[in-house]
Structure 1
Amino acid sequence: MWKLSNFINYFFTGVGFGAATYLIILTFVFPGVPATPLGVISVFIISGLIGILSMIFAADVSPAIAFSVHIIGTFLLVLLMYWINKWSVTFWWILGEFLLVYIVIWLIVILSQVHTVNKINSKIKKRNSKK
């Protein structure tokens, strides 16, 4: 059973990734384009929902199903965000940007998990060597 704290944690992790991505895109892809209140609020909410959608990876489903649901759901939420903000770019721009950002965020998550596992293993080795 999912706890409220899990939803909150996943939501704010998603907000963090989304906010960072939004600022990076505004800074390097669209320099000079100001962030709007609607843009910021929609990025926070949609990114948080994408974070909650990531909970599917902790569910008891096959990795292929989890990945399929996550990538399709994430893409639909990103399309919704573009529609809400009336950001005028082509579908191919959205798809390309989405795939690039999706891959980069996955690499960051994987590297973070590898780092965490290495730290845990190091502590276990250190603890076992003291026995």
Structure 2
Amino acid sequence: MKKILQHMIAGLGFGSASYLIILMMNAAAYHLDGVYLPLEDMLAVLTMSVLIGLLSLIFDSDRLTFLTEFIIHLLGTSVLFWVTGQLTNCFHTNMNNPLLWFYFLLSYAIIWGIIRLNQEKQVAAINAALKKRHQDLKN
């Protein structure tokens, strides 16, 4: 249950930030002064973000290869993104707009980079603690 909640919260954080960045980039690309955010759009994006966070649980599977997990996650995330946009128009553009999908893929890559750096940092900290413990046991 704790892991599920952690994935949901991470999804909320990444999804909310990505949504605002995509709206900002879209507004800049089309020279818009601002974007109105109805409550319905916010709720749709938050729901989508939680679902993407839950979809990330696939990476905890030992039954699939990483590449398979990655492809399933990317496709699932793309479907959730498209459905959310189609149902609510929360991205304020046509969901077939190539620029929107470029922003989506860019956001996806940046989020992966952030997660990867965080994982490397955690692994380095764990390895350092294990090394210290091993040295302490020798002494």
TM-score, scaled to structure 2: 0.82
Query: Aligned equivalents of 1:18 and 1:90: distance in 2?
Result: 17
Question: Does 1:127 pair with 2:133?
Answer: yes
Alignment of 1:50-89 (within 5 A): 50-59=52-61, 60-86=63-89, 87-89=92-94
1:17 alignment partner AA: F
Residue 110 of structure 1 corresponds to: 116
CA distance in 2, matches of 1:61, 1:102: 21
Higher RCO (Cα < 8 Å, 6 or more apart): 2
Deviation at 1:57, TM superposition (A): 1.1
Tell me how far apart the structure 2 counterparts of residues 64 and 129 of structure 1 sit (CA, whole Å): 37
| 1:31-89, Cα deviation, whole Å (9 max, x unpaired) | 62133211211111101101111111111212222111111110000001211222323
**Greater C-alpha Rg:** 2
Cα deviation, 1:94-121, whole Å, max 9, x if unaligned, reads 3211111111110010000001111111
In the alignment, which of 5, 29, 37 is matched to residue 8 of structure 1? Answer: 5
Are positions 1:23 and 2:20 aligned together? yes
Per the TM alignment, residue 12 of structure 1 is displaced from its structure 2 partner at its CA by 1.4
Code of the residue aligned with 2:115 in structure 1: it is V
User: Unmatched 5+ residue regions in structure 2?
Assistant: 28-32
RMSD value, Cα: 1.7
Question: How many pairs align?
Answer: 128
Q: Which residue type is aligned with residue 40 of structure 1?
A: M
SS of residue in 2 equivalent to 1:119? helix
Range with bigger deviation, 112-121 or 19-28: 19-28
Q: How many angstroms does 1:17 deviate by?
A: 0.5
